[in-house]
Chain A
Amino acid sequence: DTEVTQTPKHLVMGMTNKKSLKCEQHMGHRAMYWYKQKAKKPPELMFVYSYEKLSINESVPSRFSPECPNSSLLNLHLHALQPEDSALYLCASSQVGSSNQPQHFGDGTRLSIL
């Protein structure tokens, strides 16, 4: 069992749909992350929130919109996605300043775009 919970585990959506991915942690971590992982590839950083503020956006297309409503929750809002956006989306959390702190990952949401 992981301490970072992601829902849903699987999501299939059309290119015109709007959906949201959710992530929750109760470890008191104040840094939260979204990663995208394609099959047989490493996770790629998308967004970083530090103290509920967006601190890093790795030039992600605007069809992905992150939100951090409080210190325990992280959402990723999806709209008008493309087939190439199909991937595993991982959420992670850590103490702020992750250079000496491990990142804890959720099991991910497997997203398929039709």
Chain B
Amino acid sequence: QQPVQSPQAVILREGEDAVINCSSSKALYSVHWYRQKHGEAPVFLMILLKGGEQKGHEKISASFNEKKQQSSLYLTASQLSYSGTYFCGTERDTDKLIFGTGTRLQVFP
């Protein structure tokens, strides 16, 4: 079953923060996060493997609550380049990545 992301869309001014959530109804082995700009390929951001694990990538970090079957992506001090659609991807079977519903993020000057 497809993970559900919230919110569906976010509008920010440069420098503002945002949180994107990803919830699954089933137990997860891992959570991936990707960003896709319009007309481009999805680009890998990070993978979280263990419950409670937090990973960071510059000003973008994420957490994984295995018990709650949830992951959150944190974007701090947003930049114009952060605009795009963010997808979580959850994996229960090896090599079978199921993408979430997506969150569209727009950052304005």
Q: Is A15 an interface residue (CB 8 A)?
A: no
A55, B95: Cβ atoms closer than 8 Å = yes
- B29 and A99 within 8 A (CB): yes
State the interface size on chain A (CB cutoff 8 A).
Answer: 29
Say yes or no: is B100 at the interface (Cβ < 8 Å to chain A).
Answer: yes
User: Number of B residues whose C-beta is below 8 Å from A?
Assistant: 24
Is residue B1 within 8 Å, beta carbon to beta carbon, of the partner chain?
Answer: no
A-B Cβ contacts below 8 A, count: 63
Distance of B108 from chain A, by nearest CB (Å): 20
Residues of A contacting B100 in the complex (Cβ-Cβ under 8 angstroms): 42
In the complex, what distance in Å separates the CA atom of A96 from the CA atom of B94?
9
Binds B, one of A60-68, A71-79, A102-110: A102-110
8 Å CB contact of B41 from A50, A90, A102: A90
Interface-side segment among B11-19, B42-50, B60-68, B72-80: B42-50
Q: Chain A contacts of B49 at CB under 8 A? A: 99-100
Give the residue of A41, A99, A104, A106 whose beta carbon is less than 8 angstroms from that of B94: A99
Identify B95's interface contact among A44, A98, A105, CB under 8 A.
Answer: A98
Q: Is A48 an interface residue (CB 8 A)?
A: yes
The residue from A2, A42, A99, A106 contacting B102, defined by CB atoms under 8 A apart: A42
